[in-house]
Every structure is written in C-alpha cells, then in structure tokens.
C-alpha cells in the first residue's frame, strides 16, 4: 500500500494546488493525436476543483533546446483540457515567471491555469533550487501526479517538494498500488514478458523480477543477445556483444532459482531493416545476411499459451518491430493474449502501451502504466524521486 499522503489527505477549500501532470502529448502538425495523458489526469483535477481548490498545472512537452519553441508550447493541451473540463484554462507565457506569478495570485477557487512548458526553463532538468522555489511560490500544496516523469529528479517533479507540503494525485496512487501489488502479492502464476531492443535497458528489472515471477519470457531485439549467450547464431540481428556475459549470468540465475526463462525458438527474419525487405520464417539459428525482426509464430503461440494459464501478467517491450506490418504479428499475438486471459494484466507503458492502443485492445487490459521508464525502475526496486519526495502517511 502507498505509504504517502494523497490529495484526499488535504483540506483544499481556499488553497492553491500546484500540480505536476504529464501532458507530454503526441502531436502532428500542431494537433494532439492522442489525448490519453490529459484524460487520465481528469480524476485528480476534478477532485481538486470539487474540493474548492484553485489549480496551477505544470508539465513538460518534448525536449526543447533553447527556451521557448512554438512546437513545444502547451497551448494545445490547455485548449483541449478547457473543452473536456468545461472551464477556461488560462495559459501563462512563462515558467513560474512574472506572468505566472500574477495569474496565480489572482486565481480563485475552482479556476485553472497552466504554466508554459517547464523545459523552456533550463533549470528544470537541473533541478535548480531557484526554479523550484519560484514554482513553489505559486501555491500552497504540491501535487505529484505525473508518473511518466516520477523517475526524474527535476524541479517540477521533485525539487518543488523541498519548499511546499507534497502529496500524490490519484493517478500516481493507482500506479504505485498496482506495481507494489505485482512485487508483494501477485496472483500466481506470475508471468513477465520483456521485449524491446536492448538487454542493457532491462538488466536491473530482470534481476529483480526473477525473484518475484514464476516465468519470464523474452522477445524483441534483446532476445538475440540471450540467444548468442546460449551459443546460437543470430546473423545480423541486433546484438549487444558487451552484454553477452550478463545475459548468460541472468539465465544461470533463472536456472538456479528454478524459474523458466523462455527465449524465441523461431523468428521472422528479413534481409534488411525495411518494410519492403525480403521476409521469411525460420526456426533455430539465423544465417548471416538475415536479421530477426519479430518472434516467429511458434514462439508467439507458446507465449500466448503461457499468458492464458497465468494469474498475473506484466508486459513491457514489443516482441518485434511492430510499427512495420511484416514484423507486427508477434507483438499482436501477445497483446491479444493479454486482452483475453483471465489473469490480472499490466502493460508497463512505452511501446507496449502504444502497441495495445494501435491494436484497439487498451480497454481489455487491467492496467496500462503511464510511465514506461518509471514502471521499470519501480519494478527494479529503485526509489522514484517524484514519489520519494512526498509526505509520508505518518
């Protein structure tokens, strides 16, 4: 159970809430293409407004390099939020600067304002104390509800909590409760599926999950480093040569613990990394001149069968290059298995969440994390700065 104070522990009437949401939205030609992150913030926002708070919203968007960049402005987010919440959302043109300070001072209960993209200020990613103090001066209580950035110690995610009482919002509360449940009390058997490009991105989480899960299944580009560690040939597939010994040690650890660690036995291979490449299915070793870009149908069926028998399933990382049609079948099969199993299912954000959304299966997953990196670091056993900074229940 989350041992941190939440928005429900504060008497909000007459107070100003400084809230860090994650409105880092996918955009195309200045138009939001997926509003999920704003939609997921609405329960916390509505709670605060109904409780009599005025709300000052902070978020980042993209990775601006030199101050204000129009393409990274939060204006589209403010306009969309205003429509769905049914109230004006005033957008300040700075980050806790004079305009933000003036607007916040005049903000009445039930009103909402938003500061511009916090990354327009170079101090944000440096966790600059001066910026943190300016952010804190906007309101009375800090609310952390951006799980997607909770693993970063930035001014608007953690530094501000040095200067204001700090609690979590409803989204972070739900995220932490679900992920803690995986580590402390999962329904058995507990199966984890890990994919994506690199073993190096997931060493820590594999080490920690091996202690918790009943079975671990590997796919995606990272599988080829494990297969090479077993002595197999992987052709021109993605391979982290400097991680082969680590992959071998992880397999030895799984064997010592009696935990099955499943690897692909067949592959969808191509002669080059392109959607119009020559493609074929093969089992076993991959010959030179060919690269594995998806798990094969035999492996996909085997993984799906294990998901169907599970009590709990955690999935992070696609099984192949699902953005290209010839290499999407493995990821789709796993996603469909997740959507139909009676198990409690958790998708750990990132590309896995994107895949589930692309396949139209999001509503059939029990929990889709809003933070790929944050969920992995949590399951790795790391402390998340955006959660650690909050006041304890005690």
The CATH code of the domain that includes 265 is 3.40.50.1260
37 in catalytic set: yes
Predicted confidence (pLDDT) per residue in 251-271, tens digit: 999 999 999 999 999 999 999
Q: Give the DSSP letter string of 74-139.
A: SHHHHHHHHHHHTS-EEE-SSSSSHHHHHHHHHPPTT-EEE---GGGSTTTTTT-HHHHHHHHTT-
Residues 214 and 339 in one domain: yes
The residue-averaged pLDDT of 292-320 equals 97
Strand order in the sheet with 190-194: 261-262, 215-218, 190-194, 312-316, 344-347, 367-368
- The tally of domains found in the chain comes to 2
Residues 168 and 92 in one domain: yes
Residues 86 and 35 in one domain: yes
Contact 56, 17 (CB under 8 A): yes
Position 394 scores a pLDDT of: 76
Position 36 scores a pLDDT of: 84
Domain boundary among 140, 173, 206: 173
Could you give the CA distance from residue 323 to residue 90 in angstroms, rounded to a whole number?
37
Position 201 scores a pLDDT of: 83
Strand, helix or coil for residue 63 = coil
H/E segment holding residue 378: helix 372-380
Contact 225, 249 (CB under 8 A): no
Predicted confidence (pLDDT) per residue in 134-147, tens digit: 999 999 999 999 99
Please tell me what DSSP assigns to residue 4.
Answer: B
Position 370 scores a pLDDT of: 86
Is residue 363 left, alpha or beta, with left meaning phi > 0 and alpha meaning psi from -120 to 50?
Answer: alpha
Given the residues 133, 187, 198, 253, the one annotated as active site: 198
Residue 222 belongs to some domain of the structure: yes
Confidence of residue 210 (pLDDT cuts 50, 70, 90): very high
Domain boundary among 113, 143, 173: 173
The residue-averaged pLDDT of 355-362 equals 89
Position 357 scores a pLDDT of: 86
Position 258 scores a pLDDT of: 96
β-strand pairing of 166-168 with 141-144:
parallel
Position 123 scores a pLDDT of: 97
Position 372 scores a pLDDT of: 81
Position 22 scores a pLDDT of: 95
Across the chain, how many H-helices and E-strands are there?
A: 13, 17
Query: Which tokens hold the place of 294?
Result: 């998806």
Strand, helix or coil for residue 306 = helix
Given the residues 350, 371, 372, 386, the one annotated as active site: 350
Residue 197 belongs to some domain of the structure: yes
Q: Judge whether residue 4 has pLDDT over 80.
A: yes
Q: 35-49, 106-120, 364-378: which has the minimum mean pLDDT? A: 364-378
Residues 283 and 304 in one domain: yes
How far is the first Cα of the chain from the last one, in angstroms, to the nearest whole number? Answer: 13
Could you give the CA distance from residue 348 to residue 166 in angstroms, rounded to a whole number?
26
Residues 191 and 133 in one domain: no
Contacts (Cβ under 8 Å, ≥6 apart) of 125: 119, 152, 154
Contacts (Cβ under 8 Å, ≥6 apart) of 370: 22, 37, 40, 147, 148, 171, 175, 349
Position 66 scores a pLDDT of: 86
**pTM listed for this prediction:** 0.88
Domain boundary among 141, 173, 205: 173
Position 138 scores a pLDDT of: 98
CB atoms within 10 A of CB 367: 19
Position 17 scores a pLDDT of: 98
Among residues 104, 109, 107, 102, the alpha carbon closest in space to that of 48 is found at 109
Contacts (Cβ under 8 Å, ≥6 apart) of 22: 37, 41, 59, 145, 146, 147, 148, 149, 370, 371
Given the residues 221, 292, 373, 386, the one annotated as active site: 373
Predicted confidence (pLDDT) per residue in 371-388, tens digit: 888 888 898 888 999 999
Residues 157 and 274 in one domain: no
Confidence of residue 29 (pLDDT cuts 50, 70, 90): confident
373 in catalytic set: yes
Residues 20 and 142 in one domain: yes
How many Cα atoms within 13 Å fall on the side-chain side of residue 82? 14
Could you give the CA distance from residue 263 to residue 135 in angstroms, rounded to a whole number?
48
β-strand pairing of 291-295 with 266-270:
antiparallel
Query: Which tokens hold the place of 334?
Result: 């796993």
| 42: containing domain | 7-173
Given the residues 4, 37, 152, 332, the one annotated as active site: 37
Residues 37 and 133 in one domain: yes
Q: 86-100, 161-175, 347-361: which has the minimum mean pLDDT? A: 347-361
Residue 390 belongs to some domain of the structure: no
H/E segment holding residue 181: helix 170-184
Contact 44, 12 (CB under 8 A): no
Residue 62 belongs to some domain of the structure: yes
Residues 34 and 55 in one domain: yes
Q: Judge whether residue 321 has pLDDT over 90.
A: yes
% of the chain beyond a pLDDT of 90: 84
Q: Judge whether residue 1 has pLDDT over 70.
A: no
Q: Judge whether residue 92 has pLDDT over 90.
A: yes
Q: Which residues pair with 134 in a beta bridge?
A: none
Is residue 302 left, alpha or beta, with left meaning phi > 0 and alpha meaning psi from -120 to 50?
Answer: alpha
Residue 180 belongs to some domain of the structure: no
Residue 366 belongs to some domain of the structure: yes
Residues 123 and 201 in one domain: no
Residues 100 and 46 in one domain: yes
Residues 318 and 204 in one domain: yes
Q: 36-40, 91-95, 111-115, 369-373: which has the minimum mean pLDDT? A: 369-373
Contact 318, 199 (CB under 8 A): no
Residue 394 belongs to some domain of the structure: no
Residue 2 belongs to some domain of the structure: no
């Amino acid at each position: 159970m989350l041992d941190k104070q939440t928005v429900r522990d504060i008497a909000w009437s007459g107070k100003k809430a400084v809230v860090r949401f994650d409105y880092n939205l996918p955009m195309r030609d200045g138009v939001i293409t997926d509003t999920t992150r704003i939609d997921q913030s609405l329960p916390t926002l509505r709670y605060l407004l109904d409780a009599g708070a005025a709300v000052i919203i902070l978020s980042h968007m993209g990775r601006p390099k030199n101050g204000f960049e129009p393409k990274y402005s939060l204006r589209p987010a403010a306009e969309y939020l205003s429509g769905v919440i049914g109230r004006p959302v005033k957008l300040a043109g700075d980050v806790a600067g004079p305009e933000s300070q003036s607007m916040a001072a005049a903000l009445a209960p039930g009103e909402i304002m938003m500061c511009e993209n916090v990354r327009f200020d170079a101090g944000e990613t440096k966790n600059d104390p001066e910026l943190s103090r300016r952010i804190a001066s906007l309101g009375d209580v800090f609310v952390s509800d951006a799980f997607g950035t909770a693993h970063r110690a930035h001014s608007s995610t953690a530094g501000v909590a040095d200067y204001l009482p700090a609690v979590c919002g409803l989204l972070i509360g739900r995220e932490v409760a679900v992920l803690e449940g995986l580590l402390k009390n999962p329904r058995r058997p507990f199966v984890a599926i890990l994919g994506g490009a690199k073993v190096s991105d997931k060493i820590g989480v594999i080490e920690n999950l091996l202690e918790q899960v009943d079975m671990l299944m590997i796919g995606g580009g990272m599988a080829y480093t494990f297969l090479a560690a077993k002595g197999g040939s992987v052709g021109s597939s993605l391979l982290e040569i400097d991680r082969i010994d680590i992959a071998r040690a992880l397999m030895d650890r799984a064997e010592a613990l009696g935990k099955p660690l499943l690897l692909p036995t067949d592959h969808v291979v191509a002669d080059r990394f392109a959607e119009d490449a020559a493609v074929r299915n093969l089992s076993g070793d991959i010959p030179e001149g060919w690269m594995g870009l998806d798990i094969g149908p035999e492996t996909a069926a085997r993984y799906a069968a294990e998901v169907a028998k599970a009590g709990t399933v955690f999935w992070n990382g696609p099984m192949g290059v699902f953005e290209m049609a010839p290499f999407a079948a493995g990821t789709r099969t796993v996603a469909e298995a997740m959507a139909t199993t009676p198990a409690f299912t958790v998708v750990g954000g990132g590309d896995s969440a994107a895949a589930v959304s692309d396949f139209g299966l999001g509503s059939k997953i029990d929990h889709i994390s809003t933070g790929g990196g944050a969920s992995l670091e949590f399951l790795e056993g790391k402390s998340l700065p955006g959660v650690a900074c909050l006041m304890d229940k005690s």
